[in-house]
Amino acid sequence: MQDIKEAPRQIKVKTKKFSLKKGIINIAFEYDTGKVHINSVKLKKRNSDADCNHINEFEFALRNAENVSSGKCEAVLDVNGLGLDIGFWDVVCVCEDKKQPGEVYDAILGGLGTWMKIKFILFPRWTKTKEDTIIYPFVNGARQFTIQHRKYDRKYDSYRFIFKEMIALFCYFILKPYWDSKKLWLVCEKFCVMAQDNGLYFFRYCMENAPKEKRKKILYVIDKECPDYQAVKEYDENVIQFMSFKYMIYLQAAQYLISTDAIRHFYIWDSPNSVYKVLYQARKHIIFLQHGVMGFKQCHRTFHKKGGNKMARFVVSSEFEKKIIEDYFEYDSDDIIVTGLARWDVLKSTATGDNKEILLMPTWRSWLEDSDRKQFENSEYYKRYRQLLEDDSLQRLLEENDITLNFYIHPKFREHMESFSAGCDRIHLIPFGETPLNKLLMSAHMLITDYSSVAWDVYYQEKPVVFYPFDRQTYEERQGSYMDYDKDLFGDVVYKQQDLIAAIKYYVDNGFNEKQQYVAMRDYLLPLRDNKNSERIYNCIDNLIMPGKLFGKIR
């Protein structure tokens, strides 16, 4: 196991004022001068890449600067015309440690007061820019001072939509016993626009195997304008339109939310806080189906039991993974259900000798999120994969052995797919959503990835995996892994392009057979391979007896 990556430093303060009006951020707070001295306050982009050409931090002007030494701080920043990048921006203090003179560090400002949080919920505020974006305070569970900057959405970023939320809440609470008696299960995948993952296969199992009376209460949530709607269209009576008025009532009434992602994915992504949004998140139990085995990517801070994304039940694939969730996410044994992933029930290799395929699927990088085209194309990530796709020896290997290389980029980078070009006819660039991922995983003879959890799906099918973590040092500093890349992996690990191509050649010459050392690990890492994962998940949820989430939090 790898060491756990520590959360960024934070300084907690007593909030006096935090406002954003007409693009001007005003902050006033008090802090303990016995521990630190604040040298300055700045707005800093979260997960920013220090090597990019954009400005990733802006300094506040301090009013009454002489008060800073006495523990009182007033800071002002006009964001109009600054040209902020899209993304999250944290308010950060440059602190000097009193106990260790000379030690200066950045610390995220924390301690956003309860009244301030309530004010932003009851009276949402945002600044609309000339570039058709909006900037607003983002209220998170950590009580940190955060600003979000994103594209303006004409459909949802309006007071008219807030009025719709209020009407939906009124209609729910006026008939609350009736709506609650439906005991609804709402199932969704990422952003409620997908039907390709564990949510889809669990929903299909329910539609085809659950008793008729119970099927009525299980609904799949999706925007029916999205291509993936076709995957659930045959069950249209049990499919509900995302963000319809009916859905907004059902979301408040649901007994369980069942998803591959966090609870925020059941609503408009990154919407300003509102009464409606806070109420459903505070009251609803969520069953976490996951969309990949926890192993290569540390995300315990996101899904920690004591955090804002707490899960009522956490689906895992094995006792090995359960131990990770217990040790690092701090869930109790009863909170974790060892069932296997729902999508593995239909995972059956379709790879044939007549159509040899290699799947190249790198995962995303947190420090490249929300980057524009220029930033992305200046990154090592882009340059490495572009060089690989254009490598002459790789192209010859593919041509001589009649092999297709499918390059499938992570959905968070889908807008950058056009930056890549195929080096030859043997290389296919597949944009996110064009071909179901399950289909690509089943037809592939082997996988090349860096840190993606799809490696487990390929390993499940007894196919070889080659890991290519060329930026491992940066990744471990910024993201971190639960598994040790030197000891724990079930595939070859290479760091140089020529070594990767040599590894591909080995498996091509070997008929794409796994090495025996990796075969021997499977019964321990993936013990459940009986195609009954969805059945186990369904039975666990159906037998749950849980008190109301809000009552539990109050208690």
DSSP string, 240-272: EETT-HHHHHHHHH-SEEEESS-GGGGS-TTPP
Q: Which residues contact 351 (CB under 8 A, 6 or more apart)?
A: 357, 442, 443, 444, 445, 463, 512
Q: What radius of gyration, in Å, describes the C-alpha atoms of the chain?
A: 25
Asked if residues 346 and 330 have their Cβ atoms less than 8 Å apart, the reply is no
Give the pLDDT of residue 392.
94
Q: What is the pLDDT of residue 85?
A: 87
Q: State residue 5's pLDDT score.
A: 66
Q: Inform me whether the pLDDT recorded for 18 exceeds 70.
A: yes
Strands (E) across 299-374 are located at 313-316, 336-338, 356-360
Q: Is the pLDDT of residue 183 over 60?
A: yes
| Span 143-159, average pLDDT | 88
Cα angle value 470/473/476 (rounded, 5°)? 110
pLDDT at 111: 85
Report pLDDT for 238: 98
Of the ranges 32-36, 159-163, 295-299, 510-514, which one carries the lowest mean pLDDT score?
32-36
- Residues 97 and 36: beta-carbon distance below 8 Å: yes
In the prediction, which pLDDT does 80 show? 87
Number of separate helices (H) and strands (E) present in the chain: 20, 25
The Cα 451–Cα 16 span in angstroms is: 43
pTM above 0.75, yes or no: yes
Closest CA to 539 of 338, 273, 308: 338
Under the banding of pLDDT at 50, 70 and 90, the label for residue 554 is: low
Query: Cβ(467)–Cβ(458) under 8 Å?
Result: no
Dist. CA 95–CA 520, nearest whole Å = 51
Q: Which two tokens stand for residue 222?
A: 């999706």
pLDDT of residue 67: 67
pLDDT of residue 32: 86
The confidence score (pLDDT) of residue 330 equals 94
Model confidence at 127, pLDDT cuts 50, 70, 90, reads: confident
Q: What percent of the chain has pLDDT over 70?
A: 95
User: Which position has the token pair 């296919």?
Assistant: 428
Task: Find the range with the poorest average confidence among 82-91, 171-180, 211-220, 241-250.
Answer: 82-91
Residue 268 CB neighbours (<10 A): 18
* Mean pLDDT computed over 486-510: 96
Among left, alpha and beta (phi > 0; psi -120 to 50; other), residue 220 is beta
- The residue with greater pLDDT, 353 or 321, is 321
CB-CB contact of 367 with 47 (8 Å):
yes
pLDDT tens string 323-363: 999 999 999 999 999 999 999 999 999 998 889 999 999 99
In the chain, the N- to C-terminal Cα span, in Å, equals: 36
pLDDT digits (tens, 9 = 90+) for 32-69: 888 888 888 999 998 776 555 668 889 999 887 666 66
Q: Among 114-128, 236-250, 355-369, 459-473, which is the least confidently predicted range?
A: 114-128
Q: Taking 60 as the threshold, does the pLDDT of residue 81 lie above it?
A: yes
Mean pLDDT for the stretch of residues 428-444? 87
pLDDT at 411: 74
Q: Mean pLDDT of all residues in the chain?
A: 90
Find residue 57's DSSP bridge partners.
44
Domains in the chain: ranges and CATH: 10-151 (2.60.40), 159-340+535-554 (3.40.50), 348-525 (3.40.50.12580)
State the pLDDT confidence band at 434, using cuts at 50, 70 and 90: confident
Average pLDDT over residues 20-37: 88
User: Can you tell me whether residue 174 is helix, strand or coil?
Assistant: helix
Residue 1 pLDDT greater than 80, yes or no: no
> What confidence category does residue 550 fall into, taking pLDDT thresholds of 50, 70 and 90?
low
Strongest mean pLDDT among 76-80, 141-145, 241-245, 354-358: 241-245
Q: How far apart are CA 153 and CA 268, in angstroms?
A: 10
Which range among 74-78, 305-309, 522-526 shows the weakest confidence by mean pLDDT?
Answer: 305-309
More confident residue, 286 or 103: 286
Residue 283 has pLDDT above 70, yes or no: yes
Tell me the torsion sign for CA atoms 46, 197, 410, 295.
positive
Q: Three-class SS of residue 449?
A: strand
